[in-house]
Structure 1
Amino acid sequence: MSEPQAAMRAAPQSLITRLRNRRLTQEMIVALAAILLFVFFSLVLDNFLSPGNIVTLVRNVAVLGMLSLGMAIVVIGRGVDLSLVAVMAVSLTLSVVLANKGYPFVTALLCGLMLVIAVAVAMGFLIAYVEIPAIFATLAMSAIVYGLGRGVIADLDVNNLPDGLDWFVFLGRGSFLKIPLPIWLFAMSSVLIYLFLRLTGLGRFIYAIGDNISTARIAGIPVRPMIVLQYILSGLMAFLAGTVTAASIASMNMRIVNSTMIYDVLLVVILGGVGLSGGRGSVRNVLVGTILIGLLLNGMTIMDISYTVQNLVKSTVLLGALIVDALLNPRDEQTSQQGDI
């Protein structure tokens, strides 16, 4: 057999070998599940493909995705931020209340943004310097922020935007090239965070800290300031999500803090494949998880499934995602050992 003929036969065999050895990743499985779920809902639900429902789905997915991007940054750095929804609601409530009192709306937005940064720096300091576990620090800060919002900033849970802010409302209700602006904002923020995580030194520092914080310290990475930076970035994404929410409904409802939205965010991040062990994950994982959870929530709402049953379904899926994450991404060498009693 000549060498060209042997090469032609070897090429298909090597391709087949690569295909056989290729494993389905969690991201690929979730993407496939999202496609199947979309097809199923399109065939079963009469109003699923209606323009109104698609717009609602897109807007909700955008807000959920923005919050999930913020959560992903922290989780990649081996942290967690349970204050995202509280920060989102209270910061925009502060802006709306100040605007209703006569302050220029841009100034009111800047005040809300300053509140976000102050809360993020406080959380980052408690976690990085005082060394309080992130889950407890962010949970406590969430309660403090909500109490501040409900007891000091506003007398009402729902606060409406003042008149004459059509430019702001356009951010939530407008469209460009027939695509809703919230989707454009979500897409742009996804690109920026992707570039930050993958192409900048600070982004690589976050991955290094999440992968092994001790090694990161030895390598000279400023671990504590980087942890503070993670929570600042997470807070900024919460503020952007709150801006889109307030612009979409011309108000801000602080009752959302008591909803299960923070669990939806966690579900997106974990189900998409961002490992809780840190150092793993990307914006692509968030996009896949956002689409799947957005479809699931929208479909259950159209099917008029009760809120309690929806929470049961989401909790079950979240528990399953946590189990898969624990098996795929053990937190350290000890937890990855098998056969221990």
Structure 2
Amino acid sequence: MRRRTPEELGIAAVVVIVALVLSAISPTFRTLENAQILLLNGAVIAFLALGQTFVLLTGGIDLSTGSNVALTGMIAALTMSVGAPWWLAALAAIAVGILVGTVNGSLVHFLKLPPFIVTFATFGVAASIPLILTGASSVSVKDPFFAIIGRGSIFGIPMPVLLVAVAAIVFTIVLRLTPTGVHIYAVGGNQETSRLAGIPIGRTIVLVYAISGMCAAFGGLIVTSRLMVGYPSAGSGNELFYSIAAAVVGGVSLFGGIGSIPGALLGAVLIATVSNGMNVVGVQSYWQPLVIGVIILGGIIIDTYRRRVPLGELLSRLVKRRQAAPADQA
């Protein structure tokens, strides 16, 4: 009996190759200090990619993640500014993130609106609320314990990395070992068949968007905790771009029903590595979206042809063509 090669093995190999190339190019890249920066910056991308994975698996997309980072981070900062303890502020931020996701999922399912339009509208709303609440001003965080989320560590491992690891383990268990995971894949594979099979489609769709909102909230908490300042414009950079890139490159299909948490996590590591490597090497910032865009395009092309032709069959065709080439030349 042939053992199936894990699909994540390919992206893992790419991560290793990219890291080795960047290490050879720049001695700074292979330093411990830079590795910590890479992991810390990658933690936010990873959280957003994990949430995006759940949404993509159902055939949807969440464009509100970046602004949700700003909203939830600002909610945490404002909650502490009125005297609330840091843990209550963190819970408030997570609750708001889940609320945003729940609204997205409800509009998508119950009003039958396109996910792209719904989440794009939510992106604008969530981006404006922090600006309205603060008059576009930043809010300083005074509670020193809040820094544990973004600056703390356990046994030398940064807290954001530990949080991502715990979330990845929990999400993997949910997708692989629970009926909820089966429902998510089924809805993404064929929604009409899922409905006939009695799967609660509405509850499943609302759930995945709520999870995406929760992951964005953790991203907001990490960003605010690292800076100890709530910025109304946080998350307005490439976070959304990177989260989609990480998930797609990690093997999560834009068409739904295909993908895994480990793959998305490896995709996030790859995107963070490429971004960090370009900064270390000295590539100017306006080149980075181009490179990430090419990576996304490559992931989409592979995903499209993977759905038309199984990857194993495609590889066997390539091998046969290579073997046939010398014979033709002879």
The TM-score range, normalised by the shorter chain, is 0.7 to 0.9
Report Cα offsets for 1:145-202 as digits up to 9, x if no partner.
Answer: 1111212x2223533212xx23221221122122111111111000000111111111
Give the AA of the match of 2:31: S
Task: Name 2:112's counterpart in structure 1.
Answer: 131
- Report the TM-score, using the length of structure 2 for normalisation: 0.88
* Secondary structure of the structure 1 residue equivalent to 2:113: coil
Q: Identify the range of structure 1 (184-193 vs 303-312) with the bigger mean alpha-carbon deviation.
A: 303-312
Q: Could you list the runs of 4 or more consecutive aligned residues of structure 1 that deviate by over 4 angstroms after TM superposition?
A: 22-25
- Tell me which structure has the larger Cα radius of gyration: 1
* Secondary structure of the structure 2 residue equivalent to 1:259: coil
Q: Distance in 2 between matches of 1:327 and 1:207?
A: 20
8 Å contact from structure 1 (residues 157, 255) kept in 2 = no
Task: Name 2:192's counterpart in structure 1.
Answer: 214
Give the AA of the match of 1:119: V
Unaligned ranges ≥5, structure 1: 1-13, 331-341
Q: Distance in 2 between matches of 1:288 and 1:114?
A: 28
Q: Distance in 1 between matches of 2:66 and 2:209?
A: 13
Q: Distance in 2 between matches of 1:279 and 1:262?
A: 21
Q: Distance in 2 between matches of 1:295 and 1:157?
A: 32
Query: Residue 123 of structure 1: CA displacement?
Result: 1.0
8 Å contact from structure 2 (residues 11, 263) kept in 1 = no
Q: CA RMSD in A?
A: 1.9
Query: Residue 255 of structure 1: CA displacement?
Result: 2.4
Q: Identify the range of structure 1 (27-36 vs 301-310) with the bigger mean alpha-carbon deviation.
A: 27-36
Task: Name 2:222's counterpart in structure 1.
Answer: 244
Q: Does 1:108 align with 2:89?
A: yes
Distance 1:100-1:224 versus aligned 2 partners, 3 A rule: same
Q: Distance in 1 between matches of 2:217 and 2:6?
A: 35
Distance 1:75-1:174 versus aligned 2 partners, 3 A rule: same
Q: Identify the range of structure 1 (281-290 vs 127-136) with the bigger mean alpha-carbon deviation.
A: 281-290
Give the AA of the match of 1:155: G
For 1:277, which of 255, 264, 274 is the aligned residue? 255
Task: Name 1:161's counterpart in structure 2.
Answer: 141
Distance 1:279-1:107 versus aligned 2 partners, 3 A rule: same
Task: Name 2:34's counterpart in structure 1.
Answer: 53
8 Å contact from structure 2 (residues 59, 254) kept in 1 = yes
Give the AA of the match of 1:159: V
* Secondary structure of the structure 1 residue equivalent to 2:230: strand
- Report the TM-score, using the length of structure 1 for normalisation: 0.85
Report Cα offsets for 1:242-281 as digits up to 9, x if no partner.
Answer: 2122222212333234312101110000001011111111
8 Å contact from structure 2 (residues 73, 231) kept in 1 = no
For 1:78, which of 37, 40, 59 is the aligned residue? 59
Q: Distance in 1 between matches of 2:301 and 2:146?
A: 42
8 Å contact from structure 1 (residues 276, 329) kept in 2 = no
Q: Distance in 1 between matches of 2:266 and 2:95?
A: 32
Q: How many residues align?
A: 308
8 Å contact from structure 2 (residues 69, 234) kept in 1 = no
Show the 5 A alignment for 1:146-295: 146-151=127-132, 153-162=133-142, 165-295=143-273
Distance 1:313-1:223 versus aligned 2 partners, 3 A rule: same
Distance 1:62-1:137 versus aligned 2 partners, 3 A rule: same
8 Å contact from structure 2 (residues 76, 221) kept in 1 = no
Query: Residue 24 of structure 1: CA displacement?
Result: 8.9
Unaligned ranges ≥5, structure 2: 309-330
Distance 1:250-1:328 versus aligned 2 partners, 3 A rule: same
Q: Distance in 2 between matches of 1:237 and 1:23?
A: 29
Q: Distance in 1 between matches of 2:88 and 2:234?
A: 24
8 Å contact from structure 1 (residues 34, 291) kept in 2 = yes
Give the AA of the match of 1:158: S
Q: Distance in 2 between matches of 1:323 and 1:253?
A: 37
* Secondary structure of the structure 1 residue equivalent to 2:165: helix
Task: Name 1:44's counterpart in structure 2.
Answer: 25
* Secondary structure of the structure 2 residue equivalent to 1:99: helix
Show the 5 A alignment for 1:25-36: 25=7, 27-36=8-17
